[in-house]
């Protein structure tokens, strides 16, 4: 399959706003794609090269791409930068430059989907001395042989900016239509495999290939999510009676896979953090009485002096740290609270009711707190008074709140399906993506500040909804600047644009309508609550949630 055929579909998807028509376009593409190319086509259509569970990226920045365009087109760096200021997109710059090259077609070799995919895989694996030059050469080779319009999408793929609004729902519907497979079967298969590329391959062979799939150890899946309820009584009424109540710990979600003595730890983002948490590995080996298991849990920090739980922000540095691990184990210890079991000794438990899964949690977790792993504190009741008392106990102990779960519910990876709720007392915060910033002034000249915040739009893009300049200490600004500097894609004066990578939890006074920002809304006095290292950009709050919270303000008597 030639790459320009794929590009034709990309252009159609980008121009189409209807999700139904996007699914139809994609279904047509999948139905005519050779089986051996289904995985690359699925990955590349979603702007990736690898399946989600691998959590790997190409890791190419603007500077690399600019150098590759210069090498491939013969333009000067100044010319490329000037065109970038005009076009605002390096993909468009490459398209313009290739269009103006009269001799381009004489030397071009037709790109295939397989070659483009394999080249990007090789680029992602380049590391160490000479890797930067090798990346530039590889990207330049793709540009040199690309048709002008194809170059646009090659560069957007390289930069991780190929956003055409193809989310899981559209991909599910497309696979279902292309291969005449029930949508629910497709969705359930992806819940197990976390890989729509593999799901497409199996679906092409017939629906029977997608049934009775097992979870695979050391292939993390998306965790089940829970919407927020305002009151305990509301959550109990909606979740079903009786319901299971659990403490909501202020830690980070950990999905832990165990096979014999081998243990791997994954975050909600599917990052592998096994190296950073050898203490959790030891606790799992000692405290999980199972040959094979996948557990869902929360890992929370402990103050070594008092033994009390500490907020997530206190231990978030352990997730990112690559050195002094043993020292951090002593100074920033953690313990893991298990609340679900997804796989046990060769058997998937996803379809099993929570009540049965939790009984198995109690069976396999050794009740020894000194080992650093324990069963999450919980209560099963239909009594609103008991539920409210449990909630108050959680607050008195300094926790975020509680979880309220339907005892008959199966486990739905990656979904907020109304089978459980979280109840928290504070004003609703938002998880937003940083997409821009300004360099500071005065003593803050060397720091990024005034961070532009965005929600996830209907098409998967990011829509700005305000700027955050408060709630940050000097340490916060230093940390944010060091983390975000590699993500700067372009700069104009003091303003910079950033790759949408970092998620932050933000408090605010209120939400207002605003024509200034693409979301149509603006946060009034947004302030940093914490950096969410455990969230991916696509996990951030959506425009729909922003609208919902905006509407709620009026029911509380706040002015529109």
The closest alpha carbon to 98, from 153, 158, 143, belongs to 143
Structure tokens at 252: 């980070």
Phi, psi at 447, each rounded to 5°: -115, 145
Q: Quote the DSSP letter at residue 398.
A: T
User: 156 pairs with which residues across the strands?
Assistant: none
Catalytic residue among 248, 424, 499, 536: 248
Structure tokens at 364: 């396999």
3-state secondary structure of 85: helix
What distance in Å separates the CA atoms of residue 246 and residue 297, rounded to the nearest whole number?
12
| Cβ atoms 370, 387 nearer than 8 A | no
What distance in Å separates the CA atoms of residue 404 and residue 409, rounded to the nearest whole number?
12
Q: Is 39 one of the annotated active-site residues of the chain?
A: no
Which residue pairs, CB below 8 angstroms and at least 24 apart, start in 459-463?
459/17, 459/163, 459/164, 459/165, 460/163, 460/164, 460/165, 460/166, 460/167, 460/538, 461/163, 461/165, 462/433, 462/435, 462/500, 462/537, 463/517, 463/518, 463/519, 463/543
What distance in Å separates the CA atoms of residue 545 and residue 364, rounded to the nearest whole number?
38
The stretches of 271-311 forming alpha helices (DSSP H) are 278-287
- 504 class by beta-carbon count within 10 Å (0-12 exposed, 13-18 middle, 19+ buried): buried
| Tally of CB atoms within 10 A around 331 | 10
The stretches of 407-517 forming alpha helices (DSSP H) are 474-484
What distance in Å separates the CA atoms of residue 87 and residue 89, rounded to the nearest whole number?
5
Q: Who's near 320: CB < 8 A, 6+ residues apart? A: 276, 533
E strand or H helix at 19, and its extent?
Answer: helix 19-31
The closest alpha carbon to 301, from 336, 325, 273, belongs to 336
| Cβ atoms 296, 255 nearer than 8 A | yes
What are the residue numbers of the active site?
A: 248
């Amino acid at each position: 399959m030639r790459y320009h055929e794929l590009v034709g579909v990309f252009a159609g998807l980008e121009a189409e706003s209807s999700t139904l028509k996007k699914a139809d376009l994609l279904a047509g593409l999948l139905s005519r794609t050779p089986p051996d190319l289904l995985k690359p086509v699925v990955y590349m259509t979603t702007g990736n090269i690898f399946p989600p569970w691998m959590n790997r990226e190409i890791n190419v920045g603007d500077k690399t791409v600019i150098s590759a365009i210069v090498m491939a087109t013969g333009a000067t760096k100044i010319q490329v930068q000037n065109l970038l200021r005009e076009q605002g997109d390096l993909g468009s710059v490459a398209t313009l430059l290739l269009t103006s090259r009269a001799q381009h077609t004489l030397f071009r070799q037709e790109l295939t989907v397989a070659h483009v995919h394999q080249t990007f895989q090789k680029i992602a694996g380049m590391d160490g001395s000479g890797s930067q030059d090798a990346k530039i050469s590889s990207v330049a080779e793709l540009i040199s042989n690309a048709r002008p319009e194809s170059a646009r999408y090659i560069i957007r793929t390289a930069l991780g900016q190929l956003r055409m609004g193809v989310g899981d729902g559209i991909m599910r519907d497309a696979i279902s239509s292309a291969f005449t497979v029930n949508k629910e079967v497709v969705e359930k298969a992806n819940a197990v495999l976390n890989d729509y590329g593999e799901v497409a391959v199996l679906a092409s062979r017939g629906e029977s290939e997608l049934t009775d799939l097992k979870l695979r150890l050391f292939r993390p899946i998306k965790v089940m999510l829970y919407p927020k309820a305002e009151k305990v009584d509301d959550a109990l009424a909606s979740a079903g009676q009786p319901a299971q109540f659990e403490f909501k710990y202020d830690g980070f979600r950990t999905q832990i896979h165990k096979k014999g003595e081998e243990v791997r730890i994954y975050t909600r983002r599917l990052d592998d953090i096994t190296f950073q948490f050898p203490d959790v590995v030891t606790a799992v080996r000692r405290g999980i009485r199972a040959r094979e298991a996948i557990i869902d849990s929360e890992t929370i920090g402990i103050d070594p002096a008092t033994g009390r739980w500490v907020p997530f922000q206190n231990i978030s540095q352990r997730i990112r740290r690559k050195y002094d691990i043993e020292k951090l184990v002593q100074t920033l210890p953690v313990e893991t609270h298990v609340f679900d079991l997804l796989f046990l000794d060769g058997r998937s438990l996803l379809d099993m009711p929570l009540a049965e899964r939790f009984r198995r949690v109690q069976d396999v977790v050794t009740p020894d707190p000194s080992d650093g792993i324990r069963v999450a504190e919980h209560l099963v009741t239909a009594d609103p008074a008991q539920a409210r008392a449990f909630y108050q106990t959680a607050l008195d102990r300094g926790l975020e709140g509680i979880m309220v779960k339907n005892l008959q519910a199966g486990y739905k990876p990656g979904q907020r399906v109304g089978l459980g709720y979280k109840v928290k007392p504070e004003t609703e915060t938002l998880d937003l993506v940083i997409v821009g910033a300004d360099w500071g002034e005065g003593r803050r000249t060397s720091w990024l500040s005034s961070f532009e915040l965005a929600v996830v739009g209907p098409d998967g893009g990011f829509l700005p909804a305000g700027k955050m300049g408060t709630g940050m200490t000097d340490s916060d600004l230093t940390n944010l600047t060091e983390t975000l500097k590699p993500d700067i894609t372009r700069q104009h004066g003091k303003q910079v644009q950033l790759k949408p990578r970092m998620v932050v939890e933000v408090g605010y006074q209120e939400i207002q309508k605003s024509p200034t920002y693409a979301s149509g809304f603006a946060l009034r006095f947004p302030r940093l609550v914490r950096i969410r290292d455990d969230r991916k950009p696509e996990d951030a709050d959506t425009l729909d949630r922003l609208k919902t919270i905006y509407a709620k303000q009026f029911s509380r008597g706040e002015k529109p």
